[in-house]
Amino acid sequence: MTSLTVPPEDDGQRLDVWLAGQLGVSRSQAAHRIDAGDVTVDEVVASRRRRVRAGERILLHAAATTPPSEPPPLPPVRYRDEHLLVVAKPAGLVVHPGAGHPDGTLVDALRAAGIPLAPGDEPSRPGIVHRLDRDTSGLLLVASSPEAHAGLTAALAAREVTRRYHALVVGVPTHPRGRIEAPIGRDPGDRVRFAVVADGRPALTRYRTLAIGRADELPEHRGAVASLACQLGTGRTHQLRVHLTALGHPIVGDPTYGPSRELSRALGARRPVLHAAALGVDHPVTGARLELYEPLPAELRAVLQRAGLTPPAQRDLTEGW
């Protein structure tokens, strides 16, 4: 069973439309699950025409009994003590169970390894205080103790956790450095996507252009790319992907927001070229400063090489802000 909570910006949507966006499926597929009695609100089987309300807990029951998959291997652990740990999440690994991903997640890997996970607000998300998209790699904080969970959650809300990424984008930004401050919410034209919308949640991204490259086999106006260092001011769903798309420079290899499949193929980008490379936080219990850096994985280094670029050094992402 999967528990979903309706955010304020989705208040009033039809249940079948809202569920389709949450599951990443068609409206008819979501309606089929509802009509089959797999979806309940307040323990009552819901109607597809029902309007969801902010804060409601929607329960999605298993459509069929299937044995759980084997837990994935534990990702590399870059820091660990009794209160928290930092893992280097690989691309392709979902962080926690949810709609469409009942198991085979990072949470399952941590549990299988016997790592304590702090209880949180959602039973399916023990220890999870922030997330990375499935196809984004890099550093992720996990809370092992309740004290760490509360402290990290508060630090994230207060924007006291430094999160820096490397991204390869289509084209070259007009300004070599900039600040993108634009609200993010569900795309009204496609509920699977997010977009900059007037009534969205506030979101802030800073970026710096590190280098400019290109795909040699494409004409210059179609093959230009830029290597960016990005820093999150907030942590909205798909934030960097949405903000950079709104800037006119979507991330290379992004099947949801990136318009240039030709460019992605030319550079061999099989997933978004986005990596959570640097993380800084004051330990929520001891107060000690933690600063970690994770180099780009091999598949992203290969993409940069095809664009005539070298991987960014640690100082490129951590200095000059």
Which residues form the catalytic set? 133
Structure tokens at 66: 């299937």
Task: Give me the residues paired with residue 159 across strands.
Answer: none
In single-letter form, the type of residue at position 169 comes to V
How does DSSP classify residue 201?
B
Residues in the chain: 321
d(CA 170, CA 1): 40
d(CA 159, CA 184): 17
Task: Give me the residues paired with residue 41 across strands.
Answer: 44, 58
Q: By the 8 A CB rule, do 244 and 169 touch?
A: yes
Q: CA nearest 127: which of 90, 92, 164, 80?
A: 80
In single-letter form, the type of residue at position 319 comes to E
